[in-house]
Chain A
Amino acid sequence: MAAPTQPEPAAMRTPRQWLALLALAVAVLGAPPVAEPAAAARDRLVIGITQFPSTLHPAIDSMMAKTYVLRMALRPVTAFDHDWKLVCVLCTELPSFENGMAEIEALPDGGEGAAVTYRLHPEATWGDGTPVTSADVVFTWEAGRHPQSGFAAMETYNRITGIDVLDDKTFTVHFDRVTFDYNAFGIDLLPAHIERERFEADPAAYRNRTAYVTEPDHPGLYFGPYRIVEVASGSHLVLRRNPTWYGPEPAFETVVVRAVENTSALEANLLSGQIDYIAGELGLSIDQALAFERRHGDRFRVEYKPGLIYEHIDLDLGHPALADARVRQALMHGMDRETISRQLFDGRQPVAHSNVNPLDWVHAEDVPTYAHDPARAAALLDEAGWRMGAGGLRRDAAGTPLRVTLMTTAGNRIRELVAQVLQSQWRAIGVEVRVVNQPPRVLFGDTLTRRRFDGMVMFAWISSPEAVPRTTLHSESIPTPENGWAGQNYTGYASADMDALIDAIERELDRDKRAALWRRLQHLYATDLPALPLYFRADAFVMPAWLKGVRPTGHQYPSSMWVEEWRAAE
């Protein structure tokens, strides 16, 4: 072994030696980074995301990081595909009234319910070799509806009045109502052969005793193309090909999901080769992705996918000024959203004209839109009794100035920037806006959920294709102390027409008639403006040139649900 050489004192060096040192430094600094192990191997893909899943149980708590990881290891019975169409994933044929696998049945109370029959994929098998069967469906339902199980949204399970097991792979689900999405069965099955005993021993302790918490690397917990083999808490998860997977074999033997919360550090990890790919679902913000593309577009491909994340401003409809629809419309005309989208997002995030994404089949093309028109905004405000006064600020007849508070999440650079732009644009039409930001923890944990805002709040909704806005627009969903602050109609919007439309859409089975109802709903939304639509957020997927087959979806089922299509192209 060679001993390290001792440097000579600086004073002893000759100019030639200095030149040699300089050349060495240049050579070192200019040298290419160390070999990129993940990229070089190609049988391993390292994905970077900004969050680490706190639990891997599919039904306890809701977290995007968990969904992203689990979609590689578990599949729901049905899901939306890339074209936002409902398809069978774990089942073999999508049930419908037309194919006879679904039928309307009478309920004991005289109402109507739906009986829907599903057939599980014949080869679907948990990673330990146990077949995925109807018994898993029954167990999942039983656990889900148990009041002490700790499952967050019991309503999904409570809508099911019974499950008939026809055979190991076939079962009929009885729903207590008939809705247009009667055949959607998006729950994740739990392995009864592992979980039942733990659950029945003590349902109240199940959430802490489930194998997804105590033995997350148990092969029997997963049946997808991959199974989780290592969980390094707070750092990374390792997934390996599942030998019992019944679909096409995935190209990568191992997939590693690494959590790096700081997005600048995430970029550095990508550039240094420690990760191969930054997932769009939990990756760089749009401005960071645009800047990254400008700097490193030659090495990485950046794909943008606008989706169902709807950025908007919820209004306090009890506010003296905002209660007037003309003021709300004036605020819409006062905003220049096209310029905001173009300047801040390079046009990658399309302007929203209602709460329905243009990619959704129920989107209506002819909804009223609000172009940037300060003159029209001024006329509407005049009409509403807010006249321009001294200092360019509008006042009502009593001299009260038109002042509104705009809140958003502190630390979200883009929202803070948009809030400042809107403040300036609304000032130009005589509306004074005070920007007050709160940490997400406070805004979402208290201010919004308990309706403690006075004015406007900018945030986003995440929904699914053809998601009926019952929880956000129906008058039953206004959070109050009496209902335990449940519901997400934070604006306090109460419209009999909207309630009727929501009720009707849920029950309407005919697609054309439903489309007409959706059109009316969007018109009503765009006219009443309980919230001000801004834009639909886009996810930025930062991929190496060699990674192929990743197809962003734009909805709640992440691209990782089709991980078996991903491959490394030579």
Chain B
Amino acid sequence: MLRHVLHRLAQSAVVLLVMSFVVYALLGLMPGDPVDLMLAAMPDVTAEDARRLRRLYGLDRPLLERYANWLVAAVQGDLGFSRLHGRPVAEVLWQPLGNTVLLLSVSLAVALAVALPLGMLAALRPRSGFDYAVNLLAFAGISMPVFWLGLMLMTLFSVILGWLPAGGVAPIGGGGLGDRLSHLVLPVATLSVAAIGQHIRYMRGAMIETLRHDWIRTARAKGAGWGRVVLRHGLRNAMIPVVTILALDLGTLFSGALITETVFAYPGMGKLIYDAVMGNDYNLALVGLLLATALTLLGNVLADVAYGWLDPRIRQR
């Protein structure tokens, strides 16, 4: 297993290297460059200023040369400076990364804690009133636009009831753990609702499929209790496709919390990457997108490990 994991990690490193070039090239091919954006905003910038700034930011050099320079520096631990923030990329990333990891891990935990039992229970009573109710909940969660849900939650809990803060990560001037948690409630609820809907559907489908297998019937025939069959045999096998989807979702979640972060003025990675791409901050956008890629790859490696734990047959191969 260890050898397999190491092999997968090595594969991921190669994919990451290829992706770094692809992302760099795509960013370089986007219309306009940072100086173009400056020219549009500042009437006093002259032709000479434009040339000087392009030289200063290295934009007058060919794309391949720029990429090679970046890669050599990155391998030595220098991810470059953010043009927009004027600070080292690693320094700029640190805080939003922490905010996003906190937001996403709590959201994911909440979503799984709600979705897995509901999906499983719905699968145990297909076409029952409970199943229909859970499906209704799932489809409502999936189809509700995130920005709308966020604004509605904010209007209800912040404006009308005044129970929760309308945005940010903490009260101005600091605040304790309780304050920090209260700022998490609405963004987490917003992110979780859609995820709950999706995971209920995945879990329910996988569980129904698993419970149809002969070996479930065999386990029952051997006298195993229904609870033991469901939890020990059914759930473990049903989790395999769910884990695959979770692993693929990891990177998407990382950069896809943009809408929630924007609505709740939550300074996280989604917003940071979006602003970097829009503001032509190549270094920051590149590292942010590569982080999302790395997380997806890591998620896949973790999924491999999880498969082995869930299904001994996979481990034995």
A412 at the interface (CB under 8 A from B): no
Answer whether A213 and B31 are a contact pair too, CB < 8 Å, given A233-B95, A486-B50: no
Q: Which of A334-359 contact B (CB under 8 A)?
A: none
A446 to B88, CA, bound (A): 27
Q: Are B49 and A155 in contact (CB under 8 A)?
A: yes
Interface string of B228-265 (1 = CB under 8 A from A): 00000000000000000000000000000000001111
Q: Which of A447-490 contact B (CB under 8 A)?
A: 447-450, 463, 471-472, 479, 483-488
Q: Are A274 and B49 in contact (CB under 8 A)?
A: no
Q: Are A488 and B43 in contact (CB under 8 A)?
A: yes
Across the interface, B40 reaches (CB within 8 A) one of A54, A233, A269, A449, namely A449
A32 to B162, CA, bound (A): 8
Q: Are B264 and A213 in contact (CB under 8 A)?
A: no
Residue of B nearest to A459 (CB): B40
Q: Number of contact residues on B: which range applies?
A: 35 or more
Most chain-B CB neighbours within 10 Å: which of A33, A235, A261, A483? A235
Q: Are B32 and A441 in contact (CB under 8 A)?
A: yes
Q: Are B280 and A445 in contact (CB under 8 A)?
A: yes
A422 at the interface (CB under 8 A from B): no
Q: Are A445 and B36 in contact (CB under 8 A)?
A: yes
B62 CB → nearest A CB, Å: 17
A485 to B147, CA, bound (A): 38
Q: Are B265 and A258 in contact (CB under 8 A)?
A: yes
A483 to B92, CA, bound (A): 35
Q: Are A445 and B265 in contact (CB under 8 A)?
A: no
Q: Which of A127-176 contact B (CB under 8 A)?
A: 147-148, 150, 152-156
B54 at the interface (CB under 8 A from A): yes
B309 at the interface (CB under 8 A from A): no
Answer whether A445 and B37 are a contact pair too, CB < 8 Å, given A55-B85, A265-B263: yes
A487 to B39, CA, bound (A): 8
Residue of A nearest to B155 (CB): A268
Answer whether A265 and B45 are a contact pair too, CB < 8 Å, given A272-B166, A444-B40: no
A233 to B92, CA, bound (A): 9
Residue of B nearest to A207 (CB): B86
Q: Are B86 and A269 in contact (CB under 8 A)?
A: no
Q: Are B162 and A261 in contact (CB under 8 A)?
A: no
Across the interface, B81 reaches (CB within 8 A) one of A208, A234, A447, namely A208
Interface string of A15-53 (1 = CB under 8 A from B): 000000000000011011110000000000010000000
Q: Are B46 and A155 in contact (CB under 8 A)?
A: yes
A256 to B36, CA, bound (A): 32
Q: Are B43 and A472 in contact (CB under 8 A)?
A: yes
Answer whether A265 and B154 are a contact pair too, CB < 8 Å, given A147-B52, A234-B271, A485-B36: yes
Interface string of B265-287 (1 = CB under 8 A from A): 10100011000001110000000
Across the interface, B161 reaches (CB within 8 A) one of A31, A61, A230, A485, namely A31
Most chain-A CB neighbours within 10 Å: which of B39, B51, B169? B39
B4 at the interface (CB under 8 A from A): no
B88 CB → nearest A CB, Å: 8
Most chain-A CB neighbours within 10 Å: which of B56, B159, B272? B159
Q: Are B162 and A471 in contact (CB under 8 A)?
A: no
A33 to B85, CA, bound (A): 37
Residue of B nearest to A486 (CB): B47
Residue of A nearest to B150 (CB): A265
A378 to B150, CA, bound (A): 50
Q: Are A234 and B154 in contact (CB under 8 A)?
A: no
Interface string of A218-237 (1 = CB under 8 A from B): 00000000000010111110
Task: State the interface size on chain A (CB cutoff 8 A).
Answer: 67
Q: Are B54 and A265 in contact (CB under 8 A)?
A: no
Q: Are B87 and A213 in contact (CB under 8 A)?
A: yes
Q: Which residues does chain A contribute within 8 Å of B154, judged by CB atoms?
A: 265, 268, 272
A405 at the interface (CB under 8 A from B): no
B29 CB → nearest A CB, Å: 11
B39 CB → nearest A CB, Å: 5
Across the interface, B38 reaches (CB within 8 A) one of A33, A62, A204, A256, namely A62
Q: Which residues does chain B contribute within 8 Å of A232, judged by CB atoms?
A: 172, 267
Q: Are B168 and A236 in contact (CB under 8 A)?
A: yes
B44 at the interface (CB under 8 A from A): yes
Q: Which residues does chain B contribute within 8 Å of A60, judged by CB atoms?
A: 86
Q: Are A235 and B42 in contact (CB under 8 A)?
A: no
B26 CB → nearest A CB, Å: 14
Across the interface, A447 reaches (CB within 8 A) one of B31, B53, B54, namely B31
Q: Are B166 and A265 in contact (CB under 8 A)?
A: yes
Q: Which residues does chain B contribute within 8 Å of A156, judged by CB atoms?
A: 44
Interface string of A271-302 (1 = CB under 8 A from B): 11110000000000000000000000000000
List the interface of chain B (C-beta within 8 A of A): 30-33, 36-54, 56, 81, 84-88, 92, 95-96, 147, 150-151, 154-155, 158-163, 165-169, 172-173, 262-265, 267, 271-272, 278-280
A-B pairs with the 8 shortest C-beta distances?
A445-B32, A234-B267, A33-B162, A446-B31, A34-B162, A486-B47, A153-B44, A483-B47
For the complex with contacts A153-B42, A156-B44, A210-B86, 15 further pairs of A-B residues with Cβ separation under 8 Å are A29-B161, A54-B85, A62-B41, A153-B46, A213-B86, A233-B92, A236-B168, A238-B173, A265-B265, A441-B30, A445-B280, A449-B32, A449-B39, A483-B47, A486-B49
- A-B CB contact pairs (8 Å), 18 listed: A31-B162, A33-B160, A33-B162, A60-B86, A153-B49, A155-B46, A232-B267, A233-B95, A256-B172, A258-B265, A260-B265, A261-B262, A268-B151, A271-B159, A273-B162, A274-B166, A445-B280, A449-B40
